[in-house]
Structure 1
Amino acid sequence: MVTLESLVEGPRARGAFVLRLELDGDWAIEVADESMLTVMAVLAGDCVVSTASGEATAQKGNVVVVRGPGPFSVASEPGRPPDFIIPPDQTCVDVHGNRLVESMNRGIRSWGTTLRGEDRILVGTYANPLEVGRLSAQLLPEVMVERTDPATQVFAELLADQAATDAPGQAVVLDRLLDVLLIATVRAAGNGTSHRTDPPIDRVLDRLHNNPQSPLSVDAMARMESMSRAAFSQRFRERTGLGPGAYLRRLRLAWAADTLLAGTRTIAAIAEQAGYGSPASFSTAFKQEHGQSPRDWRLRRGREAPSLPGA
C-alpha cells in the first residue's frame, strides 16, 4: 500500500484516543467525531460498520480502518438505529443528547454496557493529522476490513492490555502501538487483497511523498513507469482523484504547511523548496489551499497543542 511512512507520520499520535468497547445484546453507535482515521480491532464477537458507500462485517480477529472525516456507524446488526452518538468532542451521548460518559464508564479507557462484553472492540482514532498524512489518508479506501495474522493480533491484544493501564509515558506507548497496528493492517491490505491499487502509480506516489520538493514533471513521472503522458495522467487521476500536476501541487503545499509548524525554516526558504518563484506567489497559493497565509498558519496553528479527547 502506498505511502505508509507519510500516512503514519501525518496522523502519528500525539495523544491519540484509545478506548476498549465492552457491549452486550443489540447496540449501535453513530460516530461523528470527524477523525481522519479510525482503527478498530475486533477482540470478541462481531460488528457491522456502515459508511456512506456501504457496509462491511467484521469478526473476531479482524481489524477495520475507516477513513474520515465523514460519519460512520458500528453496530451489532445491519440497519439498527443508533443507541449512542460520538460527537467531535468524543463525549458519548444518547439520542436525546444526554451524556453517558460517566454512566457507561467501565474502568481505565473502557466504556460500554458491561465489564466484559460479548462484543469487545478496541478503538483508536487519529484526530489531529498533519497535512501530508491527511493527504495520504485520502488514498485509502473508505473502509478496510482485514483478517490479521498472528503477529498483528499480538499487537492488537497488547494495545488492548496497555489501554487498561496508567503509567508514566503511557500515552506514548499507546500512540506507538496504535501506529504499529495501523501499519500492519494497511500493509496486509496491500498484499493482494480486494482493495484497488495501481502499482505503477503507487510507485510514483511513493517517490513524490518521499521527496515532495522534487521538480518532477508529468512527463518525467510517466517515463518512470514507461507510460505515455496521456495514459499515466488518466490512471493517476483514477487513483487519486487529481491530475499528477495538481496532486504534486497539493502535496507540496501540505509539506509546506507541516514544515511551517516546525518553525526551523523561513517562509522564503520554504517557498523556494516548495517550487515557488517568490514568497508572494507561495503565499497566494498557500492561502487558496489552506485558507490562511503562511505567516498566520505558523502563528495560529503552531500555538495549538494536540488535544486529548475526553473519555
Structure 2
Amino acid sequence: MDVLADVVSAMRTGLSSYGRADVRAPWGLRLTQSTGATFHLILQGTCWLLPPNGEPPHALGPGDAVLLPRGAPHAIADQPTTPLVDVGLKTSGKVELPPGFDPTGGQGPRSLLLCGTYLLERERPHPLLSTLPDFMHLPASPGRHRTLHTAITLLGEEIDTGPPGSRAVIPSLVDAVLILILRAWLEQQDDYPADGWSKAMADIPVARSLELIHAQPGAPWTVATLAARVGLSRATFARRFTDAVGLPPLTYLARWRMTTAARLLREDSGSLAGVAQQIGYTSEFAFAKAFKRDFGLAPGAYRRQVTAGPETAPP
C-alpha cells in the first residue's frame, strides 16, 4: 500500500489550478492568503521568495519548487528590495494584478514561473499536512530529487513552447508535482526523523501498521491485532505509533475512516450504505451519526456541497 499516495488523494478536495507568470525585472508581487496550498515552480530565470513570518529571503532558480501548504501570505520578486504590488490568487490559480500593472514592462531579465494552488482539506487536516512547515523550498540541487526537477523542466518546455497535446500533459504534470514535492521533502528529512510524518515512515513497524490501515480501513483493527501484525507488544506499538504519528492508533484509524468516507462521497456516486460498509460500519445510521459529528454535515449533505469544484485554468 502506497500510504503517501493514499494520503495525498484523500487530502485533495478539488482540481489544481494554475497560471503562468511571464515577467521581466523589475517586478515584485505580494500574495495574500490563499484558500489552497500555494505553489511556485521556477521554469526559467531567477527570483527571490520572501517567506511568511519574516523569514530571510530565499533565492530561487530554474527547477526550484516552493510549496506553502496553508497558503500563507508571502511575496515573490526579482530582488528582495524591489517594491511590491499587492495581488491575490484567483480561484483559477492565476495571479490577479492591479489595474495598470504590467509584469512584462520591465527591461531586465525574464523569469517564467508557474503559480497556482492545490485544494487540500483544511478543516480536518491529515497529520502529514499538520506537521508540514508554512514554507517549503526544494532547490534544484545536483543529484537530489531528480524526478521532481525533471517534471519541472518538462513543465517549462510544455508551457513555453506549447506543442500539440500540451493542454493534456500540463495538468497531469502539475498534479504529479504535489506528490513529488512531498516525497522530496520527506526524503530530505530522512537524516533527522525526529518528529513529523518522516518519523512515522522511518519507523518500520509504524509504517507497516499505516500500510495495513490504509489498505483495509474497514477491517476490525484493534491495537492488539495491529501490534501482532507488525511484531511488537501491544504497549510498545501503541507508544511508538502515538509518538511518531501524533495520534493513538485507534484515533488515527477512526479519523482515517472518516477521511476515506469523505473522499468516497466526493468521488463516487455509490450508496451511503456502500460507503459505510467500506469503512467498517455495518449500520448506515451509525456511520451518518459519526460522519456528522466529524464534519458537521450529514453524508448526503456533504456530498451535495462538494459536487461542484473549480475547473483547472489553462496556462
Flag whether TM exceeds 0.5 (same fold).
yes
Structure 1 residues 79 and 294: CA distance shift in structure 2, 3 A: farther
- Partner residue of 1:66? 68
- Partner residue of 2:172? 176
Q: Deviations over 1:174-218 (max 9, x none)?
A: 121123333333333333546741112344334333333233223
- Partner residue of 2:298? 293
User: What is the number of residues matched between the two proteins?
Assistant: 295
Q: Any idea what SS the aligned residue of 1:216 has?
A: coil
1:297 is displaced (CA, Å) by 1.8
2:136 counterpart letter in structure 1: M
* Partner Cα separation in structure 1 for residue 151 and residue 214 of structure 2: 27
* Partner Cα separation in structure 1 for residue 4 and residue 107 of structure 2: 36
Q: Any idea what SS the aligned residue of 2:178 has?
A: helix
Structure 1 residues 226 and 169: CA distance shift in structure 2, 3 A: same
1:256 is displaced (CA, Å) by 0.9
Q: Any idea what SS the aligned residue of 1:286 has?
A: helix
Q: Which moved more, 1:11-20 or 1:153-162?
A: 11-20
Structure 1 residues 91 and 48: CA distance shift in structure 2, 3 A: closer
Q: Any idea what SS the aligned residue of 2:305 has?
A: helix
- Partner residue of 1:266? 271
1:266 counterpart letter in structure 2: S
* Partner Cα separation in structure 2 for residue 164 and residue 56 of structure 1: 27
Structure 1 unaligned spans of 5+: 105-110
More helix by share: 2
- Kindly report the root-mean-square deviation, in angstroms, between the aligned alpha carbons of the 2 structures: 3.8
TM-score if structure 1 supplies the norm length? 0.74
* Partner Cα separation in structure 1 for residue 261 and residue 168 of structure 2: 26
- Partner residue of 1:108? none
Structure 1 residues 112 and 203: CA distance shift in structure 2, 3 A: farther
Q: Any idea what SS the aligned residue of 2:257 has?
A: helix
Conserved 8 A contact 1:84-1:93: no
- Partner residue of 2:186? 190
1:175 counterpart letter in structure 2: P
Q: Deviations over 1:8-57 (max 9, x none)?
A: 53439745324235252362422422113525336432423523595672
Structure 1 residues 40 and 139: CA distance shift in structure 2, 3 A: farther
2:255 counterpart letter in structure 1: R
- Partner residue of 2:114? 122
Structure 2 unaligned spans of 5+: none
* Partner Cα separation in structure 2 for residue 208 and residue 53 of structure 1: 40
1:286 is displaced (CA, Å) by 0.9
* Partner Cα separation in structure 2 for residue 168 and residue 160 of structure 1: 15
Structure 2 counterpart of 1:284, from 283, 289, 301? 289
- Partner residue of 2:6? 6
